[in-house]
Amino acid sequence: MGDYHLFAKHGDKVYMEVKKVGEIVMSFAELQKNKYWKYYYDLSLMLAIDKEIKNEPFNKFYDEAYEYTGNRVWSLDTAYIDLDIEQNCKKTYKIIPSGNVCYYKINPADVEKMEYSSQQGIDMFKRIYMCRVDVRSGYFINRSVIYRNIAIEYQVSKMEKELEELSAYFEDKKEVIELLETVNDKYSMNDDILAIIINNLLY
C-alpha cells in the first residue's frame, strides 16, 4: 500500500497530512525543525509538476492504493515514487512522471484562513508520527537516500532537457548562467541539483 505526505503552503503557514497520522497546520519554521517533515517537504517540491490544484472526481484507483479517507476532490499533478517488486522479489524504486495522486481533504486555497494547530496538538502529532514503522524501525534512513537520489535524477533530467532547448539560443556561457538562474527561480533547485547541471552544461 502507498504512503503519503501532503503539503499545502501559504506564506509562513503549512498544512500537512500524513497517512494514518492525521493533519496539522504549523509555521514553516516548525516544519523545518523536524528532519522527517523537512525531508518530505523538500522531496515534494522536487516531484511536483503543476502547482495548480484541480477540482475533479476522485480516482478510486488511488483510494485502493493509498487508503485515503474522507471526501476528496482537490488534487495535484505530480511525479511520484513507485516500488516495483519483480518475480525474483527484487525491489526497484522508480519515478512515475505524472499523475493526479495527491488528493486533499481540504481545499488547499483555504490554508490562508486556517488556524494554526496548538502546541499541544503539534506535540501529539509528533508522538503519533514517531510511531510510524519507517521511523521506529530506522527504515527511513535507507529509504530517504534512495528517494532523494532518484528524485534528484528525475529533476536534473527534466531541467536539463529544458535548459538544452533554451541554451541553443545562447552562445555565451555568461548567458547560460543567467538562464540557469532563471530556471533555478522556477524550480527552487537545491545545491546538489544546481552543481550537477552546471557541470553537465558548462564543462
**Is the pTM higher than 0.85?**
no
How far is the CA of 20 from the CAs of 33, 50, 131, in angstroms?
A: 21, 26, 10
**Element housing 171 (H / E):** none
Radius of gyration of the chain, Cα coordinates, nearest whole angstrom: 19
Of the segments 79-83, 93-97, 186-190, which one has the largest average pLDDT value?
79-83
Handedness of CA 151, 152, 154, 158 (dihedral sign): positive
Task: Of 62, 16, 171, 189, give the one whose Cα is nearest residue 180.
Answer: 189
Summarised one tens digit per residue, pLDDT across range 46-70 is 887 766 666 655 556 555 545 666 6
Task: Of 139, 136, 133, 129, give the one whose Cα is nearest residue 23.
Answer: 129
Are 75 and 103 in contact, with CB atoms under 8 Å apart? yes
Summarised one tens digit per residue, pLDDT across range 133-180 is 889 888 888 888 888 888 888 877 777 776 676 666 555 555 656 666
Q: What is the mean pLDDT of the chain?
A: 77
Confidence of residue 88 (pLDDT cuts 50, 70, 90): very low
Burial of 75 by CB count in 10 Å (0-12 exposed, 13-18 middle, 19+ buried)?
Answer: buried
> In the predicted model, is pLDDT for residue 86 greater than 50?
yes
